[in-house]
């Protein structure tokens, strides 16, 4: 009997390991008007509160790109679809929890200095991750694979970084889509911020999700996309400039940022920039206007109330959200 129990436990462990290494499959976003099946318990009348708190992580930088601190609630104005909203939540240097998906392009065009890239990622994780944070590690080449599910155990992530192997293709937009979908399942309690950090050259060579699908999924999850763009050579002929521009636009639309890396040794400072950016964010929140059943994309605009400061500082934040998203 003991032998049977031991064999069964071993089989379950092996099966679980194989499942954790399987490629992730995309799920389409919910269709407008679709409803989940209801049980008898669900049919009991309930009172629904339609008010929704919309949190907006905000970076303010000066002309040199340095973070600007010391600003207060009264320095900002926030608008939804052009209409001013009352700022209900305001935090300086937000210490709210982070859910991060670190997605590493494992194609041969990127993994040229594998040891340096993995070491830079390890240092990033050790510098940024706090007890209240969680990180999910993914790799993408021909397919997207979750290497380590969400955890705040740095040793598990370091071990996962050692398991990344190179591939021949690049499923970039699938990676963004799936990373955002994974973040969509995380809790938003305590103002938790959702972040995707990509290491890639911007090329997408796999027929899967398209840019528009990846962007929508990121916006539905409220995920900020940070791209560390590996540039193989300076000449445009050897670069995927279209892919680079797509990543830049993605960062602008989701409130993230992008950084170029030419020499692998520059990965370390690029990760440091991402870490500093997340540590120096302001957090603004407002209660969205109630418009009943609504599936539209609502635009967000944040600006300085002082007109002189409007031209002096640059504000980076997500440009909107889907009304029916989580």
CB 157 within 8 A of CB 146: no
Q: What is the pLDDT of residue 4?
A: 42
Strand stretches in the chain, DSSP E = 52-61, 76-80, 83-85, 89-91, 98-105, 134-140, 144-151, 193-200, 223-230, 258-261, 282-288, 297-304, 314-316, 320-322
> What is the predicted pLDDT for the residue at 72?
96
Residue 273 structure tokens? 């920039």
Using pLDDT thresholds of 50, 70 and 90, give the confidence band for residue 115. confident
Exposure class string for 96-134: b at 16+ Cβ within 10 A, else e: bbbbbbbbbbbbebbbeeeeebbbbbbebbeebbeeebb
- Residue 284 CA from chain centroid, whole number: 18
List the structure tokens of 60. 């303010």
Considering only CA atoms, give the Rg of the chain: 21
User: Is the whole-model pTM more than 0.75?
Assistant: yes
Average pLDDT, the chain: 85
Most confident segment among 4-8, 18-22, 121-125: 121-125
């Amino acid at each position: 009997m003991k032998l049977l129990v031991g064999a069964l436990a071993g089989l379950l462990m092996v099966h679980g390991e194989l499942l954790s290494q399987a490629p992730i499959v995309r799920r389409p976003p919910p269709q407008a008007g679709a409803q989940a099946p209801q049980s008898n318990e669900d049919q009991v009348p309930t009172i629904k509160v339609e008010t929704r708190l919309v949190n907006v992580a905000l970076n303010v930088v000066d002309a040199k790109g340095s973070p600007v601190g010391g600003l207060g609630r009264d320095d900002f104005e926030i608008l939804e679809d052009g209409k001013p909203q009352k700022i209900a939540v305001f935090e300086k240097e937000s210490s709210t929890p982070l859910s991060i998906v670190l997605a590493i392009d494992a194609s041969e065009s990127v993994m040229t200095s594998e040891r340096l890239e993995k070491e830079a990622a390890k240092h990033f994780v050790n510098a940024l991750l706090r007890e209240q944070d969680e990180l999910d590690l993914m790799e993408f080449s021909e397919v997207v694979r979750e290497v380590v599910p969400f955890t705040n155990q740095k040793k598990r992530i370091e071990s996962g970084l050692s398991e990344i192997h190179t591939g021949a293709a690049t499923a970039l937009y699938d990676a963004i889509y799936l990373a955002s979908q994974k973040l969509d399942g995380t809790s938003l309690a305590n103002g938790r911020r959702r972040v995707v950090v990509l290491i890639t050259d911007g090329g997408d060579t796999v027929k899967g999700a398209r840019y528009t699908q990846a962007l929508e999924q990121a916006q539905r999850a409220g995920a900020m996309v940070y791209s560390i763009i590996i540039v193989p050579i300076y000449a445009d002929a050897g670069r995927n400039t279209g892919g680079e521009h797509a990543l830049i636009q993605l960062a602008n639309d989701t409130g993230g940022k992008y950084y170029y890396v030419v020499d692998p040794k520059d990965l370390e400072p690029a990760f440091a920039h991402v870490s500093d950016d997340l540590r120096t964010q302001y957090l603004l929140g407002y209660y969205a206007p109630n418009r009943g059943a609504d599936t539209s994309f609502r635009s967000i605009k944040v600006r300085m109330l002082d007109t002189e400061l409007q031209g002096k500082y640059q504000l980076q934040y997500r440009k909107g959200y889907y009304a029916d998203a989580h």
